[in-house]
Structure 1
């Protein structure tokens, strides 16, 4: 497996860990028999962690498709890897800013992640223009 493919896995795990960690930390409050109980998400941190989780699930398909498309279309693997690692780093920072209630920085990081995804997605078309 390539580094970028491991980053696809890391991206999925990050979205799951963003909510699982809050459920674990609030284990006395979280009721696993009612995992979607709206009362649990009345807590501001739990609500933001849930938002980060949902956004991670929303961002995942495009990231996975972009990486696989770039790999299948023979884009430079080292560039795919570097952009994928950068995407995961940006997403980690995004989760922390989401849970930490930093909406402006969170929006900037979301935009950066989206631009990175666009770059990965269009790598096959730009292959001839790259000096690699």
Structure 2
């Protein structure tokens, strides 16, 4: 490379959104376990020796937060792939960044709807996020 020519390489907003999407399952897991860390496992508190068994015994909003964690992991590979493919295809960075940010907002809304047990709205939000992910994939298509 010519030393007088430099190319600025930076982490795009869309790439930061990939990081945010990767952290969402951890947020859901923390939410499912919220308030149970201080109680002994013998009294129903969080059991770090058998975390999956403990989560499987949960009901209500804790169980839904755990389900949101699983769905967040499921949505992650497609989002990562869509962002990378769009970037490689030369998508408009502004549009890609905007779409990625909107995807994160939709996923946050999805988690809220799941935990709050707003099933119909949750399904609508999931569908919008999935459709947006498809749109992200094709942003650079020519």
State if a TM-score over 0.5 links the two structures. Answer: yes
Query: What corresponds to 2:109 in structure 1?
Result: 93
Gaps of 5+ in 2: 1-10, 40-44
SS at 2:114 equivalent: helix
1:55 is displaced (CA, Å) by 0.3
Contact 1:30 1:40 in 2 (8 A): no
Alignment counterpart, residue 22 of structure 1, candidates 29, 32, 52? 32
TM-score by length of 2: 0.84
Q: Which residue of structure 1 lines up, in the alignment, with residue 21 of structure 2?
A: 11
| Aligned-partner Cα distance in 2 for 1:67–1:4 | 7
2:98 corresponding residue in structure 1: 82
Which residue of structure 1 lines up, in the alignment, with residue 79 of structure 2?
63
Runs (5+) with no aligned partner, structure 1: 128-132
Aligned to 1:115: 131
**Runs ≥4 in structure 1, deviation > 3 angstroms?**
38-41
Match of 2:63 in 1: 47
**Which residue of 1 is the match for residue 53 of structure 2?**
37
Please list the CA deviations of residues 93-125 of structure 1 after superposition, one character each: whole Å capped at 9, or x if unmatched: 100100000000000000010011000001121
Q: Which has the higher contact order (CA 8 A, sep 6+)?
A: 1
RMSD, matched Cα: 1.3
How far did 1:25 drift? 2.1
Q: Is the 8 A contact 1:40 1:46 kept in 2?
A: no
Would you tell me which structure has more helix in proportion to its own residues? 1
Instruction: Give the structure 2 partner of residue 130 of structure 1.
Output: none
